[in-house]
């Protein structure tokens, strides 16, 4: 789960990370009032969306008066901000963050991520802040500093000082940098975050270390332990299909093809999508129904997949262990009887109660295409989609 910049800053400040003075606004009038509350002569107005690249897209503006802030935010609110991370559809601006401008002397990149290769938290830092990490890695690879946190020890001060020295921090600011590094690590560890990124972390002209921008992402599977983090979720920034799926305990990922996938398990999902591509097709999405799927759960999954207008065929690939093939078959039949669809449906069942599941499908009288292997199922899904395309050339090809 992602959160907004202002939310990430509030969290990091609770762990000792310095941030500029700022406040949230939901209207142009409130934004101007926030600037007067903060005081000063210059402010930065930032559109709050779940995406990077806001500055280049016009979502970050420097203003010199409250009247300018009101004019700028009137153009922002209700608009779609399109960045390289949002895609062409963009994301709506419904709130802005007004922040006091600070005298920037240096910009630094700082990131904490889970490195799956080492199964450790990896700290990535660079003296070239203000750019995307991909650009930094490509343009200034020598500036990249990497450090691994040993989980049995945590992040000790001496390791933070080593990073600070490598970044060329002035001696008088070393302790602030240590506090910032340890605060970010504690926030990541204690709140089950998967990523903390501060870009840029700035050194100001008056010798302060401040997080000028911040991003945090959290492990969805651990949110039950942190209801205060769950409350920060902003559904307006999420894919509505993924949001609806999450509300029902399902995992949905939207893609750009035309064959919808219903599976159980992330590994099987990846194998299914690879096989579809091998057969000459393109997956439109995949929906993981998880373990112990009831007929109601399968029926709900069907409706979610069909809510994607690009779906022109559905492949159901279930390898039942905890799940039961007869439950899945009942869900398929129920969904198609309640809401008949006009796209081909290919079903491959294997595992627990497969014979009962196949019998339910065979006796349903529904035009289902059955397969016994994954390769056969993928080939039949692609073939049936192409046959439908030939019969109806007006179908959208993705």
In this predicted model, what pLDDT tens digit does every residue of 112-165 receive, in sequence order? 999 888 889 999 999 888 777 777 777 878 788 999 999 999 999 999 999 999
| CB of 210 closer than 8 Å to CB of 201 | yes
Least confident of 157-171, 256-270, 286-300: 286-300
- pLDDT of 393 reads 47
- Tell me the C-alpha distance between 272 and 277, whole Å: 9
Is there a single domain that holds both residue 326 and residue 272? yes
The arithmetic mean of pLDDT across residues 324-338, rounded, is 86
pLDDT band per the 50, 70, 90 thresholds, residue 397? very low
pLDDT exceeds cutoff 70 at 271:
yes
Tell me how many domains the chain contains. 3
pLDDT (average), residues 300-325: 84
Instruction: Indicate whether 143 and 108 sit together in one domain.
Output: yes
- Residues forming the annotated binding site? 46, 53-55, 99, 102, 107, 199, 213, 264
Grade residue 187 by pLDDT with cuts at 50, 70 and 90: very high
Angle (nearest 5°) at CA 257 between 349 and 267:
45
Task: Tell me the per-residue pLDDT of 57-94, one tens digit each, with 9 for 90 and over.
Answer: 899 999 999 999 999 999 999 899 998 888 788 899 99
In a domain, 395, yes or no: no
Of the given ranges (207-211, 280-284, 377-381, 392-396), which has the lowest mean pLDDT? Answer: 392-396
303 in a structural domain? yes
Say yes or no to pLDDT of 253 above 50: yes
> Residue 298: is its pLDDT beyond 90?
no
Q: Does the pLDDT value for residue 395 go beyond 50?
A: no
Does 391 score more than 60 pLDDT?
A: no
- Please pick, among 109, 128, 242, 330, the residue that the annotation labels catalytic: 109
Q: Is 109 tagged catalytic? A: yes
As annotated, the binding site for Mg(2+) includes: 199, 213
In a domain, 127, yes or no: yes
Residue numbering of the annotated binding site for substrate? 264
Residue 97 annotated in active site: no
Q: Model's pTM, two decimal places? A: 0.76
pLDDT at 376 over 50: yes
Identify the pLDDT of residue 396: 42
**253 and 384 share one domain:** yes
Whichever domain contains 25, its CATH number is 3.30.1490.20
- Give the pLDDT band of residue 291 (cuts 50, 70, 90): low
Residues 2 and 147 in one domain: yes
The catalytic residue among 197, 242, 330, 379 is 197
Q: Is the pLDDT of residue 293 over 70?
A: no
Q: Given pLDDT bands bounded at 50, 70 and 90, which one contains residue 16? A: very high
Confidence (pLDDT) at 169 = 94
CATH number of the structural domain spanning residue 377: 3.40.50.261
pLDDT grade for 249, boundaries at 50, 70 and 90? low
Domain hosting residue 353, numbered range? 239-389
């Amino acid at each position: 789960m992602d959160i907004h910049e202002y939310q990430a800053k509030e969290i990091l400040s609770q762990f000792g990370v310095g941030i500029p003075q700022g406040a949230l606004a939901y209207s142009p009038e409130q934004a101007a009032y926030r600037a007067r509350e903060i005081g000063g002569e210059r402010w930065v107005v930032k559109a709050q969306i779940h995406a990077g690249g806001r500055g280049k897209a016009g979502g970050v503006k420097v203003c010199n008066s409250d009247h300018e802030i009101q004019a700028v935010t009137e153009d922002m609110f209700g608009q779609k901000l399109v960045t390289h991370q949002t895609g062409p559809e963009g994301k709506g601006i419904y709130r802005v963050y007004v922040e006091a401008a600070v005298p920037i002397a240096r910009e630094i990149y700082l990131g904490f991520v889970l490195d799956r290769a080492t199964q450790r938290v990896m700290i990535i830092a660079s003296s070239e802040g203000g750019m995307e990490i991909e650009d930094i890695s490509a343009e200034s690879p020598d500036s990249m500093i990497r450090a691994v946190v040993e989980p049995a020890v945590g992040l000790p001060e001496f390791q933070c000082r080593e990073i600070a020295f490598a970044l060329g921090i002035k001696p008088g600011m070393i302790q602030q940098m240590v506090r910032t590094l340890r605060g970010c690590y504690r926030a990541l560890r204690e709140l089950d975050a998967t990523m903390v990124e501060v870009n840029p972390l700035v050194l100001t002209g008056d010798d302060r270390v401040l997080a000028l921008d911040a991003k945090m992402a959290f492990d969805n599977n651990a949110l039950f332990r942190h209801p205060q983090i769950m409350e920060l979720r902003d559904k307006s920034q999420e894919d509505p299909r993924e949001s609806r799926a999450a509300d029902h305990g399902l995992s949905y990922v939207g893609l750009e093809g035309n064959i919808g996938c219903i599976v159980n398990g992330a590994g099987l999902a990846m194998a299914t999508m690879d096989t579809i591509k091998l057969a000459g097709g393109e997956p439109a999405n995949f929906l993981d129904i998880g373990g112990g799927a009831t007929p109601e759960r399968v029926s709900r999954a069907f409706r979610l997949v069909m809510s994607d207008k690009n779906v022109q065929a559905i492949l159901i690939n279930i390898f039942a262990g905890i799940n039961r093939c007869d439950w899945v078959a009942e869900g398929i039949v129920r969904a198609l009887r309640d809401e008949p669809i006009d796209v081909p449906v290919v079903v491959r069942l294997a595992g627990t109660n497969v014979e009962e599941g196949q019998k339910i499908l065979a006796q349903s009288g529904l035009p289902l295409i059955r397969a016994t292997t994954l390769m056969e199922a993928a080939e039949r899904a692609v073939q049936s989609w192409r046959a439908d395309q030939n019969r109806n050339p007006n179908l959208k090809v993705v």
